[in-house]
């Protein structure tokens, strides 16, 4: 049964381009590990510079496998530097799909 990974990232002012560059590195690595990015959102109202990513994982253990793939990538140092430069804070939540429609 799939598990959903909801990631909320508060970006530093003016750092959206750096964050986009980071995700151009991270997304293909995570997807090679089997993560599926359903969508990414940038808020227009509320807390500006907020990004939400919604990923589908196979199960809870799949999170660790994806993180391992990211950490073992030859581009991890570059990715880590870009994220450190652009992300103020990150909140990670796991969710199950709720069917009511």
Rounded to two decimals, what is the model's pTM?
0.92
Is 19 among the domain residues? yes
Cα distance between residue 55 and residue 57, in whole Å:
6
Cα distance between residue 87 and residue 44, in whole Å:
18
Give the structural domain span for 68. 3-95
> What pLDDT, on the 0 to 100 scale, is given for residue 75?
97
- What mean pLDDT do residues 3-12 have? 98
Is 100 among the domain residues? no
- Number of domains present in the structure of the chain: 1
pLDDT tens, position by position, 8-60: 999 999 999 999 999 999 999 999 999 999 999 999 999 999 999 999 999 99
Neighbours of 68 (CB within 10 A): 11
Is 101 among the domain residues? no
Is 21 among the domain residues? yes
- What mean pLDDT do residues 67-79 have? 98
Q: If pLDDT is split at 50, 70 and 90, which confidence band does 82 have?
A: very high
CATH of the domain at 87: 3.30.70.100
- What mean pLDDT do residues 61-74 have? 97
């Amino acid at each position: 049964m799939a598990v959903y990974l909801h990631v909320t990232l508060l970006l530093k002012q003016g750092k959206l381009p750096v964050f986009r560059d980071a995700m151009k590195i991270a997304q293909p690595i995570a997807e090679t590990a089997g993560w599926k990015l359903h969508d990414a959102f940038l808020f227009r109202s509320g807390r500006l510079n907020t990004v939400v990513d919604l990923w589908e994982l196979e199960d809870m253990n799949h999170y660790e496998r994806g993180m391992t793939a990211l950490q073992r990538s030859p581009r991890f140092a570059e990715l880590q530097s870009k994220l450190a430069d652009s992300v103020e804070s990150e909140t990670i939540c796991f969710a199950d799909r709720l069917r009511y429609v």
